[in-house]
Chain A
């Protein structure tokens, strides 16, 4: 749509600007402030320059948390994206069953995150949980609060349970937009099922899949509540991801300087991915001719 140039539109945007400035810019400036200063309390601050940044950048704890975070995001993307596509392909195209599937699949997305954690915490227990009990009676000595591998399995399974439907729903929306004529043409050409997927469905889903990948990456990159409830970041530090470490630093130990420097670098990563996201979105809009 061709838009009209009109700078008076600023008045319509002003409320948003004021509100978001209050809830985003002021806190961010506080963080910037802390990241370059030190304090012994009583609101007395000393200029520290880039000390905190150096400390965080060379901190082994942060490095290993970043490593775990990237591994976690990598694993869940590798599972959720293909699984989500598979589920979208298997969903009924229309009718009552399509609605039933949509509603049931979306249920995990609407559960408060700490309840998601609680559900899986219970499910993984060997005495009262379905998963833990079943695994135990199969002869596996399952203990997710002692064994790091088991902790990882339960956190990853939980995230797959929680968010795969999002990928599936997006892919499904992409599939719905493919005109029936494409499939008829493929049928006339006697294209195999794989070829239909590879040359019709996948290219048509490309846009929504990119959105799905970015959304899943972002949200898994800042995951906090669910693993915190299930494992508390343990055993040891086996499942403490970036946000868990950051909250521990900022609210637990009150190490304001390092926590603030950490936050700023965290935020820069987010900014970078947001930019990729934005570019993808706007290109998608252009491709659709809107």
Chain B
């Protein structure tokens, strides 16, 4: 027996060695392709405009944090980040608050029209923001919400609520139904059971759903730009300010871009194993 495994193992090993190398090469090349554009942005954010326009360099000759200082000390700049974070957090809280009970209903019960409703939610996740830009503008103008954070937060629920419902439903049906039944026998009321027992069980699911709501609201520009003018302007549209009469302020533009990447980059480590599940609406 030992002999037979050996005869099989030897060719396999000699065959496997060069294959592993190609794998590594492909992976390294791909990661380089991923990182070069980001590196380039970071590099430019550490340079002065004169140095950027002065000549082509692969790394900053005299690294400076001036561009970041400009953004973080000028209120008209950093207010954009505050605005963005305000509506993104409002949207995340709102989306999760309404999605949690709905996802529970979808994962536990059959009811009249459940499948149609679930499908209808999906169509909203897939709806092109361009279709909604103009009607949203008119709707929120007519109710006096134009240029407020809540308008953008509400507009983003269009795709974030369906996303949260689908992701949470995916996590919830992994929880055995016996747990619910036991809790009811023990005399728990539904709200108490839901908050005290059920939510801790799907804590990771709630975290993932929150991350994806945060992210999709953070990266979206078309709707947030259409619905704001001055008071609730997101950082993304403030960035266009760098194009001035004297040309483009490349260094500050790059620094502003880098600062928009930071929030996602900080939390991605925690959800790394669920990224695929989140993007696939809880279905992997």
Which residues of A line the B interface, CB within 8 A? 1, 3-10, 12-13, 15-17, 19-20, 22-24, 26-28, 30-31, 86-87, 89-92, 99, 101-115, 118-120, 122-123, 127-130, 133, 161, 165-166, 169-170, 172-174, 187-188, 190, 193, 208, 211-212, 215, 218, 221-222, 224-225, 242-244, 246-247, 250-251, 256, 259, 263, 266-267, 270-271, 273-275, 277-278, 281, 284-285, 290
Instruction: Determine whether B86 belongs to the interface, using a CB cutoff of 8 Å to chain A.
Output: no
Known: A26-B139, A106-B268. Contact between A166 and B279, CB under 8 A?
yes
Residues B268 and A103 in contact, CB atoms below 8 Å apart = yes
- A280 to B137 Cα, complex, angstroms: 35
From B218, which residue of chain A is reached at the shortest CB distance? A112
Which residues of B line the A interface, CB within 8 A? 8, 12, 19, 23-24, 26-27, 30-31, 33-38, 40-41, 44, 52-53, 56, 94, 97-99, 101-102, 104-112, 114, 117-119, 121-124, 126-139, 154-155, 157-158, 161-162, 165, 173, 177, 215, 218-222, 226, 236, 239, 250, 253-254, 257, 260-261, 264-265, 268-269, 272-273, 275-277, 279-281, 283-284
Residues A170 and B279 in contact, CB atoms below 8 Å apart = yes
Q: Find B130's partner among A28, A113, A222 (CB 8 Å cutoff).
A: A222
Residues A9 and B277 in contact, CB atoms below 8 Å apart = no
User: What is the predominant secondary structure among interface residues of chain A facing chain B?
Assistant: helix
Residues A115 and B123 in contact, CB atoms below 8 Å apart = no
Nearest Cβ distance between residue A106 and chain B, in whole angstroms? 5
Residues A110 and B261 in contact, CB atoms below 8 Å apart = yes
Residues B135 and A28 in contact, CB atoms below 8 Å apart = yes
Chain A residues whose CB sits within 8 angstroms of the CB of B260 once the complex forms: 111-112, 115
Residues A19 and B98 in contact, CB atoms below 8 Å apart = yes
Nearest Cβ distance between residue A193 and chain B, in whole angstroms? 7
Residues A113 and B129 in contact, CB atoms below 8 Å apart = no
From A30, which residue of chain B is reached at the shortest CB distance? B135
Residues A173 and B284 in contact, CB atoms below 8 Å apart = yes
- A285 to B280 Cα, complex, angstroms: 13
Residues B102 and A12 in contact, CB atoms below 8 Å apart = yes
| 7 smallest beta-carbon distances between A and B, as pairs | A110-B264, A27-B135, A222-B128, A173-B276, A12-B105, A243-B130, A9-B109
- A10 to B158 Cα, complex, angstroms: 20
Q: Find B109's partner among A5, A17, A161 (CB 8 Å cutoff).
A: A5
Q: Find A173's partner among B27, B104, B250, B277 (CB 8 Å cutoff).
A: B277
Residues B276 and A274 in contact, CB atoms below 8 Å apart = no
- A114 to B237 Cα, complex, angstroms: 9
Known: A15-B101, A130-B36, A169-B275. Contact between A211 and B284, CB under 8 A?
yes
- A118 to B24 Cα, complex, angstroms: 30
Chain A residues whose CB sits within 8 angstroms of the CB of B250 once the complex forms: 122, 128
Known: A9-B111, A107-B268, A187-B12. Contact between A270 and B123, CB under 8 A?
yes
Residues A106 and B127 in contact, CB atoms below 8 Å apart = no
Known: A13-B117, A112-B218, A218-B126. Contact between A170 and B276, CB under 8 A?
yes
> Among A1, A19, A123, A133, which residue has the most Cβ atoms of chain B within 10 A?
A19
Nearest Cβ distance between residue A162 and chain B, in whole angstroms? 10
Q: Find A20's partner among B53, B162, B272 (CB 8 Å cutoff).
A: B162
Nearest Cβ distance between residue A135 and chain B, in whole angstroms? 13
Told that A28-B135, A102-B272, A110-B215 touch, could you supply 8 new A-B pairs with CB distance under 8 A?
Answer: A8-B111, A16-B165, A22-B154, A114-B239, A119-B41, A165-B34, A173-B277, A270-B123
- A7 to B26 Cα, complex, angstroms: 53
Nearest Cβ distance between residue B204 and chain A, in whole angstroms? 15
Known: A12-B104, A120-B37. Contact between A103 and B269, CB under 8 A?
yes
From B108, which residue of chain A is reached at the shortest CB distance? A3
- A106 to B254 Cα, complex, angstroms: 20
Residues B158 and A23 in contact, CB atoms below 8 Å apart = yes
Residues A222 and B129 in contact, CB atoms below 8 Å apart = yes
Residues A9 and B105 in contact, CB atoms below 8 Å apart = yes
- A15 to B96 Cα, complex, angstroms: 11
Residues B161 and A20 in contact, CB atoms below 8 Å apart = yes
- A23 to B131 Cα, complex, angstroms: 12
Chain A residues whose CB sits within 8 angstroms of the CB of B98 once the complex forms: 15-16, 19
Nearest Cβ distance between residue A112 and chain B, in whole angstroms? 5
Chain B residues whose CB sits within 8 angstroms of the CB of A225 once the complex forms: 221-222
Chain A residues whose CB sits within 8 angstroms of the CB of B283 once the complex forms: 211, 281, 284-285
> Among B111, B158, B215, which residue has the most Cβ atoms of chain A within 10 A?
B111
Nearest Cβ distance between residue B239 and chain A, in whole angstroms? 7
- A31 to B108 Cα, complex, angstroms: 36
- A173 to B280 Cα, complex, angstroms: 10
Chain B residues whose CB sits within 8 angstroms of the CB of A278 once the complex forms: 118-119, 122
Chain B residues whose CB sits within 8 angstroms of the CB of A109 once the complex forms: 215, 275, 279
